[in-house]
Amino acid sequence: MPQGEFELIARYFSRLGAERADVRIGVGDDGAVVMPPSSRELVVVMDSLLEGVHFPAGSPAASIGHRSFAVNLSDLAAMGAEPAWALLALTLPSADEEWLAQFSRAAGDLCRKHGVALIGGDTTRGPLAATVTMVGIAPIGVALERKGGQVGDAIFVSGSPGDSAAGLALEQGRLHVADAMSAQILRDRFLFPTPRCGIGVALRGLASACIDVSDGLGGDLEKLCAASGCGAEVDAAALPVSEALLSAVGREAAREYALTGGEDYELLFTVPLARLGAMTSAIARGLGPVKRIGSLVAGKGVKVFARGGVMQFSGSGFDHFAT
């Protein structure tokens, strides 16, 4: 980038996010210097968002700024880590000041909310893409993994999966919804997903396995099952679909969005039966929106039971009402 553009960009990213006492040298040198807490493990995640792949061309800058950090916060949540530091590699076709202002404001708001300091990164001219690395902190040995689920464990999911995929379909004009309020709720669920950091941290010692839902509940549950060496049975009637999604597309399509939609950034996790009492207490104390949707079973693969039959997950989607 030309010198003037570098300075413009530097202005927007030099002090983004939370102020943290453990950051000794932040943005501006060859590297950042941070002081990790003693006797803690670090969880490190990295996710890229590309225009035309992870968001439609012309998406609002605020949404891209929010999502770039939200998807990484969600990965940290899935591991049960408290977010701490982030780096941003941003590739831009040009340095548009209004775009940078909106991107950095949304990213900064989300980072401050979660106590994350932006400590470094890189800016390059090229096709629009944002790659974020985030580092979180967890007590030794307690980070949640995809493996660890056991036959009999209860399966839970946070929030209302499916909203985001319907919101993306609305953004892309593939879906039309008469109810303007429902449409706006669904769009916002795609544009500004809520990373479940508080729930993730609270699940340490409670959940036996955890993954965040980025590729669709069915596919991500299959990954959790494969890592845990078991299968899963899900009750379609228990899927927590939102009022907005129900009103927008009806019950059948809502379940399909919930199971195969993706980009939800909800947590999908398992809880041993012996800890269901503790789980109920945590929910009563305000854990957040989580709902039991099924159980881990012997065998492999994901089956969804609905009135009228069983849907079998097949890798790329569900074969409906197979038996």
- Rule CB under 8 A: which residues touch a second copy? 3, 24-25, 29-36, 38-48, 50, 52-54, 75-76, 78-79, 81, 85, 87-89, 91, 119-122, 124-127, 129, 131, 133, 135-136, 138, 140, 143, 145-146, 210-212, 227, 315-316
Q: How far is the CB of 55 from a second copy (least distance, A)?
A: 12
Q: How far is the CB of 178 from a second copy (least distance, A)?
A: 35
Residue 6 neighbours by CB distance under 10 Å: 12
Q: How far is the CB of 218 from a second copy (least distance, A)?
A: 14
Q: How far is the CB of 138 from a second copy (least distance, A)?
A: 7
Q: How far is the CB of 230 from a second copy (least distance, A)?
A: 17
Q: How far is the CB of 36 from a second copy (least distance, A)?
A: 4
User: What are the CA-CA distances from residue 102 to residues 17, 87, 116 (Å)?
Assistant: 14, 18, 18
Q: How far is the CB of 25 from a second copy (least distance, A)?
A: 7
- Nearer to a second copy (CB atom), residue 127 or residue 309: 127
C-beta of residue 84 within 8 angstroms of C-beta of residue 136: yes
Place of tokens 């993730």: 200
- Nearer to a second copy (CB atom), residue 140 or residue 178: 140
- Nearer to a second copy (CB atom), residue 69 or residue 254: 69
- Nearer to a second copy (CB atom), residue 23 or residue 259: 23
C-beta of residue 165 within 8 angstroms of C-beta of residue 257: yes
Side-chain half-sphere of 102: how many Cα atoms within 13 Å? 11
User: What are the CA-CA distances from residue 244 to residues 163, 188, 261, 306 (Å)?
Assistant: 8, 11, 15, 21
Give me the count of residues in the chain. 323
Q: How far is the CB of 206 from a second copy (least distance, A)?
A: 17
- Nearer to a second copy (CB atom), residue 126 or residue 309: 126
β-strand 117-125 against 82-92: which pairing, if any?
parallel
Rama region for 246: left / alpha / beta (φ>0; ψ in -120 to 50; rest): alpha
Residue 235 CB contacts under 8 Å (≥ 6 apart), including other chains: 293, 294, 304, 305
Nearest to 209 by CA among 296, 134, 291, 301: 296
- Nearer to a second copy (CB atom), residue 36 or residue 309: 36
- Nearer to a second copy (CB atom), residue 177 or residue 199: 199
C-beta of residue 159 within 8 angstroms of C-beta of residue 293: no
C-beta of residue 79 within 8 angstroms of C-beta of residue 138: yes
- Looking at residue 63, the DSSP 8-state letter turns out to be H
- Nearer to a second copy (CB atom), residue 116 or residue 245: 116
